[in-house]
């Protein structure tokens, strides 16, 4: 693991690190904020998965999460959204290829060689963090935006024993019924739609739900509402009587201005679960 940078931030340290990923077959970069408490004892960890076109840097610099994480003594991990490199398959469209990993393990060529983001986020990167930083593996939570909200919700529902809480900002909520999903799942996973359902938060909410609190924020003026399909997830949460809240925020769009406005509440929501 190589340290790319470390900066003092709100009493803690905001670091950026790179490493050779076995899962993705390339070098991967991630950002990690450690609060001051990590100097003396392991601290809880909140994951934040970013959306289409983003890297580790977007949420790290725009979400304003470090201040609130420092207040609660919580670490923040901002992974990249996909494998990258000259030999990594890509597409001219912004919603496929590099920057658009969709948090799945691709099984189809040319993506299968590198696009193993599910294994990277759920197995390889957690192991690396546990070996190198003062983190409490028993206290984890997960959040994300857009494509990352999709990833956070699906990962949490598949791994309920790992995460105490899950939240999302404007998640891609029903990808099997959206062009932000059908296109990518066909490319990465093939035509067998039974494999798609495993990565659809609405379907997973209907079938299993999450054994913990859920918080969803969605802007009413989001320019991608027709692709996100929030009403499907809201209906599934209601039908299941899921412990949680689905909030429509009047006038907000899909940008980081929206995310940063409500980030304090999301970090507090997770901190309550992590310190329960």
Backbone angles phi, psi at 6, to 5 degrees: -145, 130
201 is catalytic: no
146 is catalytic: yes
List 114, 254, 266, 270, catalytic entry = 254
222 is catalytic: yes
List 146, 167, 178, 201, catalytic entry = 146
List 80, 200, 217, 222, catalytic entry = 222
Positions annotated as catalytic residues are: 146, 222, 254
């Amino acid at each position: 693991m190589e340290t790319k940078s470390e900066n003092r931030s709100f009493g803690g340290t905001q670091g950026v690190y790179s490493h050779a990923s076995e899962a993705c077959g390339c070098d991967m970069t991630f950002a990690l904020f450690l609060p001051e408490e990590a100097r003396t004892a392991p601290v809880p960890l909140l994951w934040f998965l970013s959306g289409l076109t983003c890297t580790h840097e977007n949420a790290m610099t725009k979400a304003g999460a470090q201040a609130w994480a420092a207040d609660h003594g919580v670490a923040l991990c901002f992974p990249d959204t996909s494998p990258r490199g000259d030999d990594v398959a890509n597409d001219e469209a912004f919603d496929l290829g590099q920057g658009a990993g969709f948090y799945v393990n691709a099984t189809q060529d040319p993506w299968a060689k590198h696009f193993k983001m599910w294994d990277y986020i759920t197995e390889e990167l957690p192991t690396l963090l546990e070996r190198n930083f003062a983190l409490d593996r028993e206290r984890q939570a997960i959040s994300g935006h857009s494509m990352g909200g999709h990833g956070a919700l699906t990962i949490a529902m598949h791994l309920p024993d790992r995460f105490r809480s899950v939240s999302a900002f404007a998640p891609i909520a029903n990808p099997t019924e959206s062009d932000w999903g059908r296109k990518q799942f066909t490319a990465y996973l093939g035509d067998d739609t039974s494999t798609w359902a495993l990565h659809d938060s609405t379907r997973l909410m209907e079938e299993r739900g999450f054994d913990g609190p859920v918080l969803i924020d969605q802007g009413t003026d989001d320019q991608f509402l027709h692709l996100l399909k929030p009403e499907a997830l809201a209906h599934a949460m209601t039908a299941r009587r899921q412990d949680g809240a689905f909030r429509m925020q009047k006038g907000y769009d899909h940008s980081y201005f929206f995310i940063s406005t409500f980030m304090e509440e999301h970090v507090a929501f997770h901190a309550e679960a992590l310190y329960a």
